[in-house]
Amino acid sequence: MSRQNVTVVCMVSLLMTGAVFGQIQGTIINTDGKSFPGLLKWKTQAKAYTVSANNMDMEIPQASVADIQIAKPKDLDNAEKQIAAGNSVVAIPLLEKVTKDYLMLKWDKPAIRLLAEANLKAGETDKALKTCETIIAADATASYLGEVAPIYWQVLLKLNRTSKVEECVLKAIKSGDRLASAFALIMRGDLVLATGDTPDNANKALRDGYLRVILLYKSEKDAMPEALYKAAKCFEKAGQSARAEQMRTELKKDFSTSPWAQK
């Protein structure tokens, strides 16, 4: 193990056995492929993880982490079930707990995405922004990469912070990540429509955003349902009902379980 990859802090831990507040049982795999099981904790200022095991603490810089293996928290499972049942009010405190307990520990981003979506549906846009900023403060790339980014952009758009949205979208496209680029193109379409829901803007949103995803990013299954749904809406606005029906048919056929297909 190289010193650059792992810094071992040779000190006797005073940790009690079992779960410790702010720490989660799991395994860190470093960039050398070595595994370090124990109680994991994220250290914001140091941008590093502490692994506590066998009465010792080991510090692993974030740049040296290839993967983090942690069991999915029951609170997140329960929250997902509550949201599926339409009980967002019950899900929100569960998601808030996961967000706090698992910050930078694998399950924070799924929880934050769901929590921000629930905040937004409840009309609490400022709260949704703070929810997204929880992870962005710890990981700046979350503003343009990964599953939090698309809901973060939607929140910014709701707050009329279009210049910030455009900045994030540009970073997503420049990153070279195909899924991030696909969602960035969807947001480009949304930005066009935000200036006015007109036939001309519908055509521009199709051309600059939704159709590009449908034609060029078919492999990005997470982005396709939203692109198809919004393309159908735009074709309707542009007076092209046959093309709109084509988009809806593809959406229902290929992504029948997607929430976008249920709309």
Give the model's pLDDT for residue 22.
60
Residue 31's CATH number: 2.30.30
The answer to whether residue 165 sits within a structural domain is no
Same domain, 197 and 123: no
* pLDDT at position 138 over 50: yes
The answer to whether residue 169 sits within a structural domain is no
Same domain, 88 and 110: yes
14 pLDDT band (50/70/90 cuts)? very low
Amino acid at 73: P
Same domain, 29 and 110: no
> Based on the structure, what is the number of domains in the chain?
3
* pLDDT at position 205 over 60: yes
36, 69, 102 - which closes a domain: 69
The residue count of the chain comes to 263
| Element holding 147 (H helix, E strand) | none
Same domain, 142 and 207: no
Q: Which domain holds residue 120?
A: 72-160
Q: Give the burial class of 260: count Cβ atoms within 10 A of its Cβ; 0-12 exposed, 13-18 middle, 19 or more buried.
A: middle
Same domain, 54 and 79: no
Same domain, 48 and 98: no
* pLDDT at position 147 over 90: yes
Same domain, 98 and 63: no
Same domain, 46 and 63: yes
Same domain, 181 and 259: yes
The answer to whether residue 166 sits within a structural domain is no
Same domain, 191 and 218: yes
Same domain, 202 and 259: yes
Candidates 119, 107, 197, 109; CA nearest to 155 is 119
252 Cβ contact list (under 8 Å, min separation 6): 261
Distances in whole angstroms, Cα of residue 173 to Cα of each of 108, 169, 202:
24, 6, 22
151 Cβ contact list (under 8 Å, min separation 6): 113, 116, 117, 120, 128, 132
Residue 250 near residue 222 (C-beta atoms within 8 A): no
Residue 138's CATH number: 1.25.40
pTM across the whole model: 0.85
Helices (H), 102-210: 108-121, 125-138, 148-158, 162-175, 178-194, 199-205
Structure tokens at 110: 């799924």
The answer to whether residue 130 sits within a structural domain is yes
130, 160, 190 - which closes a domain: 160
Give the model's pLDDT for residue 178.
97
pLDDT one-digit tens code per residue, 20-76: 446 899 999 999 999 999 999 999 889 999 999 999 999 999 999 999 999 999 999
Give the model's pLDDT for residue 25.
96
